[in-house]
Structure 1
């Protein structure tokens, strides 16, 4: 089915950061519960993988590279529906008490203000992750410090991450509504069609027709949701799934290429190398099960 690794970094009382890395060969739903006895804010910033986040009483949030999700919830339990592929996500969690201390005297957007004032209504939003957000996340994951200095550094960067998102929310009061817009729902349906037909996907014109959007609008909403147009996303999802097939080790590279819709092995090898920096055979020699390693790239 796959594997998952979780790294935990405390940020003092009422806050922590999780670094989650996983790879699933089939769709997997993971249930989580954060052990705080007060409402929480959870900020998720994925760098790879597609998933749906389901908090009780909140709209379902779509997660993919190039986006972030923020949830304000009284019940810290949630379900995460992972699509097959590699997932790498940074999650920052703050209790309402810790946020009140951090944001004392700071102007905040409506949902955040209501949350800090003790209202129990949940809130969920998704937005496009800026280059600044990804830079801060990378600095949290990798830095030269140890011990107390490492703890202070990560705390500071986590605050910087939160400040960047709150600034974005302040300028986007309608994020929650926009996340559930009709066009986004149609684009998510298009994503599901592509994921179910990676080897032989419909053309962009046929896909747009199936979900009742123009090609131009479908590409626009894909950029908004997933950070790239339909063709680029399809290529990325194919190659991510190819990694899972390669890691299993029961197929030749040319068989994996065929399953992902590549008629020519050379085209698959070129696309794979461009995305992951190494040819598929060499990638599997480092990440796979150990079978078929004698074949050429």
Structure 2
């Protein structure tokens, strides 16, 4: 297995955009970094390797980060304290790195796509200031000088923002503003997942009602091609239609119909990205019988036609 040491980011011709030279890797690899005035750092790393490698890096200042794995999987380890752990597609996580930590990533000969949001050093301190109780677990991890990570799934709302980051329709200053807004959106979705208490006062539900809504959402996404109608869905979880709609919005921020539509389109996007099926097959597999309606809904959500995405995926 080839071993390399991670290099420092280098500036590009675009203001506030940097890249890491990965030309020594066996295959195709790219790492772009955008730094925003808010203090967030957005990292997009895309690799397609011909042989497995190890990448070693040293953390020189404390970092809080959010990681989103969109394709592939890999292992990583912290030195000297932690054993190797696995990161795979569909996962998102919060990680904390104190300074002077050695990290080794073990990348297989495969296609991999990852997006990170990071806060470092003084920016990290200013971000936490005033919310010490809120970020207490993070602060304790850094004070004990030990790395830590908390793993969850990547939600539908997160996937939409991640896709929009990868397929930004703008350039120049407009692109920088757009990417920063999407990075902030990702941060808010992740904080809401990590700290459910961020839900606005008055939107809390009893535990039993919250569980009913979770079961309702699972019933929708488990039957994308033939989901239950609202009346059937409400009956199955023991709620009235009006309560189902109201409670669903409290938990997910959208109606049951919008949740189903978003999940259908997200699933179709992943199918098309694989390049293994055509647009018609993708539409039918997630419950769209009308192809023109599917194409319109897809482009409205992702800013690109399904056929264009399929063409791009097959080229790569």
Q: TM-score, normalised by structure 1?
A: 0.52
**Structure 2 residue 183 is the aligned partner of structure 1 residue 158:** yes
What are the ranges of 5 or more consecutive residues in structure 2 without an aligned counterpart? Answer: 1-25, 198-270, 283-305
Per the TM alignment, residue 150 of structure 1 is displaced from its structure 2 partner at its CA by 2.7
- Kept in 2, the 8 Å contact 1:17–1:90? The answer is yes
**Structure 2 residue 43 is the aligned partner of structure 1 residue 2:** no
Per the TM alignment, residue 103 of structure 1 is displaced from its structure 2 partner at its CA by 3.7
Q: Which residue of 2 aligns with 1:114?
A: 140
- Structure 2: distance between partners of 1:26 and 1:127: 29
What are the ranges of 5 or more consecutive residues in structure 1 without an aligned counterpart? Answer: 173-235, 244-268, 288-297
- Structure 1: distance between partners of 2:314 and 2:186: 36
- Kept in 2, the 8 Å contact 1:49–1:64? The answer is yes
- Structure 1: distance between partners of 2:186 and 2:129: 17
- Structure 2: distance between partners of 1:284 and 1:158: 24
Q: Which residue of 2 aligns with 1:39?
A: 62
Ranked by relative contact order (alpha carbons within 8 Å, sequence separation 6 or more), the top structure is: 1
Q: Which residue of 2 aligns with 1:62?
A: 86
Q: TM-score, normalised by structure 2?
A: 0.49
Match of 2:45 among 20, 32, 36: 20
| CA-atom RMSD in angstroms | 3.7
- Kept in 2, the 8 Å contact 1:55–1:77? The answer is yes
How do residues 32-111 of structure 1 correspond to structure 2 at under 5 angstroms? 32-33=57-58, 37-56=60-79, 57-74=81-98, 75=100, 77-106=102-131, 108-111=134-137
- Kept in 2, the 8 Å contact 1:96–1:115? The answer is no
- Structure 2: distance between partners of 1:78 and 1:154: 27
- Kept in 1, the 8 Å contact 2:78–2:147? The answer is no
SS of the counterpart of 1:44? strand
- Structure 1: distance between partners of 2:84 and 2:195: 21
- Structure 2: distance between partners of 1:154 and 1:17: 8
**Structure 2 residue 123 is the aligned partner of structure 1 residue 123:** no
Per the TM alignment, residue 171 of structure 1 is displaced from its structure 2 partner at its CA by 5.2
- Structure 1: distance between partners of 2:125 and 2:312: 47
- Structure 2: distance between partners of 1:69 and 1:97: 22
Per the TM alignment, residue 134 of structure 1 is displaced from its structure 2 partner at its CA by 1.3
- Structure 1: distance between partners of 2:157 and 2:114: 16
